[in-house]
Amino acid sequence: MWMILAFSAGVATASDTADVVGFDPIITQRCLAVMSDSQTPRSCIGASANHCMETTEGGWSTRGMSKCLDQELQYWDARLNAAYGKVRAMRKATDKELRDIGSSAPSQADALLAMQRAWIAYRDASCDYERSHWGGGTGGGPATLSCHMYMTAEQALFLEADAIVE
């Protein structure tokens, strides 16, 4: 289940996180910066949310978990959007270069857009399925947010890697 919580682009500012005292995106950024060779960036997903839950009064309550998870979700969503914009611009430039030399290759920008739209539908369906495991209980909210956070972070990391390939 996605509720396992032990687990840069747009950076949240202090005003973005003011309502959740223990949330600090620097925790995730630091984790990514000091990874060992045996770690993957995936191991840093949830680091800031976990820190938030551990250091915020009521952080392990349903409401506290939801706030902390949502703050990290917003952090990863900003990174995802920044990376997507960069990759989309790169792919549009490649498409233009290919058209200029008379290539009939399929559009990379269009393929990226279709992939991202399909990924959003997949993420949403996956997280709805995760929520269904909670039978309408209060844990469903944090579980759904955790799922969205984790999957959004993975997609952000995927797109960031694509942005530096070229």
For the stretch 41-100, pLDDT in tens is 999 999 999 999 999 999 999 999 999 999 999 999 999 999 999 999 999 999 999 999
Asked whether residue 122 is assigned to any structural domain, the reply reads yes
- Mean pLDDT to the nearest integer, 1-22: 41
| pLDDT value at residue 37 | 87
Asked whether residue 82 is assigned to any structural domain, the reply reads yes
Asked whether residue 8 is assigned to any structural domain, the reply reads no
Interatomic CA distance for residues 146 and 72, integer angstroms = 9
What confidence tier does 1 reach under pLDDT thresholds 50, 70, 90?
very low
8 Å CB contact between 156 and 45: no
Please give the residue range of the domain that contains residue 64.
Answer: 14-165
Q: Using the 8-state DSSP alphabet, how is residue 62 labeled?
A: H
Q: What is the per-residue pLDDT across 13-52, written as a single tens digit (0 to 9) for each?
A: 333 434 456 789 999 999 999 988 889 999 999 999 999 9
Asked whether residue 109 is assigned to any structural domain, the reply reads yes
- For 38, list phi and psi in degrees, rounded to 5: -85, -5
| pLDDT value at residue 22 | 79
Asked whether residue 6 is assigned to any structural domain, the reply reads no
The total number of structural domains in the chain stands at 1
Asked whether residue 44 is assigned to any structural domain, the reply reads yes
Tell me how far apart the terminal alpha carbons of the chain are, to the nearest angstrom: 35
